[in-house]
C-alpha cells in the first residue's frame, strides 16, 4: 500500500476519498502514516469538494424547507387562535405583501431544488470522468 501511495499519491488519495467505505478522518490518519508527499496528498483531496458542497447544500435546503413549514404552521395557528368561529387557515388566507414575513418563498424553494438537481448532475459528471480516468490509469500502469 505504501509503495502505491508513494508512486501514485494523487490517484490513490482521490480513489480512496471517493470510496465512502472508510470515514474521512480515519482515512486521513491512515494516509498520514504513509510516505505520500504533501503536495500529492493535497491534490488528491480536491475530489471531495463536490460531495462537500452537496452535503452543505442539502443541509441548507432542508433547513430552509423546515423553516418554511414552521412559518406556515405558525400562521395557521395564529389564524385559528384569532378567529375560533372561522374554520379557515393561513393556507386559505395568505397574508398580503406588506405583512409577508421574510421567510423562504415557494420560488426560493424551487430554486433550491433546481440547484440540487444541477448539483447531482455535476456529481454524476465528476464520477463519470473519474471512472474514465481510473480506467486509463489501470490500463497505463497495470496495477496488481
Report pLDDT for 88: 52
Q: Average pLDDT of 2-23?
A: 79
Are the C-beta atoms of 76 and 90 separated by less than 8 Å?
yes
> What is d(CA 94, CA 131) in angstroms, rounded to the nearest whole number?
50
Q: What is the predicted pLDDT for the residue at 98?
A: 42
Cα 123 versus chain centre, distance? 10
Q: How much is the mean pLDDT over the chain?
A: 76
Range with top average pLDDT, 32-46, 75-89, 97-111: 32-46
**Mean pLDDT of the 2-10 span:** 78
Mean pLDDT within 30-55 = 83
Contacts of residue 112, Cβ cutoff 8 Å, sequence gap at least 6: 57, 60, 61, 64, 65
pLDDT at 94: 55
pLDDT at 83: 64
pLDDT tens track for 120-136: 888 788 778 777 877 78
What percent of the chain has a predicted confidence (pLDDT) above 70? 81
- Can you give the pLDDT at residue 93? 53
d(CA 127, CA 120): 11
Phi, psi of 35 (to 5 degrees): -100, 30
Q: Are 33 and 56 in contact (CB under 8 A)?
A: no
pLDDT in tens, 54-102: 788 888 888 888 888 888 888 888 877 776 555 555 555 555 544 445 5
Report if pTM > 0.75. no
Q: What's the CA gap between 6 and 72, in Å, rounded?
A: 56
Amino acid at each position: 500500500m505504501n509503495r502505491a501511495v508513494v508512486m501514485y499519491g494523487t490517484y490513490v488519495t482521490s480513489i480512496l476519498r471517493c470510496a465512502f467505505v472508510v470515514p474521512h478522518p480515519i482515512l486521513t490518519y491512515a494516509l498520514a502514516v504513509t510516505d505520500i508527499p504533501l503536495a500529492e496528498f493535497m491534490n488528491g483531496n480536491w475530489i471531495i469538494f463536490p460531495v462537500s458542497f452537496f452535503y452543505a447544500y442539502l443541509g441548507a435546503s432542508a433547513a430552509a424547507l423546515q423553516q418554511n413549514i414552521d412559518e406556515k404552521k405558525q400562521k395557521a395557528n395564529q389564524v385559528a387562535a384569532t378567529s375560533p368561529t372561522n374554520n379557515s387557515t393561513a393556507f386559505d388566507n395568505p397574508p398580503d405583501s406588506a405583512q409577508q414575513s421574510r421567510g423562504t418563498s415557494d420560488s426560493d424553494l424551487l430554486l433550491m431544488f433546481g440547484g440540487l438537481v444541477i448539483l447531482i448532475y455535476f456529481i454524476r459528471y465528476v464520477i463519470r470522468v473519474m471512472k474514465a480516468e481510473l480506467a486509463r490509469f489501470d490500463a497505463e500502469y497495470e496495477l496488481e
